[in-house]
Amino acid sequence: MKATALLEKQHAHVRSLFKRLEGKPKDIAALLDDLASSLAAHMAIEQELFYPEVRELEKDLVLESFEEHALAEIALKRLLATDPEDASFKARVVATKELIEHHVKEEEEELFPKVEKAIEAERLTQLGKQMKQRFDEVQRDGFEAAVPRGVAKTSADVAKPKSMNTATRH
């Protein structure tokens, strides 16, 4: 499976989890665990494998994606720390969902079409295999293992290459 198709499939899975969470599910703990581990694994493969491969195609959007991952990670931490009976739980589900939806829309409508045009299908398939393998590893280990503790540093901060941190001067 091509890298972009894999990411789109994962986006669809996360959308379905959010839709179920917005209802009154009986299995909230399992849904939250699936959501957190799926998003942590998804962000890991984008940050470690996909973004480094495509960053020169759309550098500003990739930099923005790292920032969105950092915000999503903080939103997830807050959501996971909230009792489902707490009045703010639903609001945190909605806010996290909206943040993720914005990110997904930019990737699927802006980044992926450029990637599909610029990178050969064979390379995207090879990258997809690497990403799937890494996704399975991170998802198996879970959210807690994939993200730094606290909010001062996120996995996006750790993964972003130093070369992307320096402004280019003309």
Q: Kindly report the pTM of this predicted structure.
A: 0.86
Q: What is the pLDDT of residue 148?
A: 83
C-alpha–C-alpha distance, residues 51 and 2, integer Å: 15
Residue 165 lies in a domain: no
Residue 137 lies in a domain: yes
Q: What confidence tens digit (pLDDT) does each residue in 19-33 have?
A: 999 888 889 999 999
Q: What is the pLDDT of residue 170?
A: 40
Residue 72 lies in a domain: yes
Q: Domain count of the chain?
A: 1
Q: What is the pLDDT of residue 69?
A: 94
Q: Which segments of the chain have a pLDDT < 70?
A: 151-157, 160-170
Q: What is the pLDDT of residue 105?
A: 97
Q: What is the pLDDT of residue 169?
A: 39
Residue 168 lies in a domain: no
Residue 170 lies in a domain: no
- Take residue 158 and report the two structure tokens written for it: 């750790």
Q: What is the pLDDT of residue 25?
A: 86
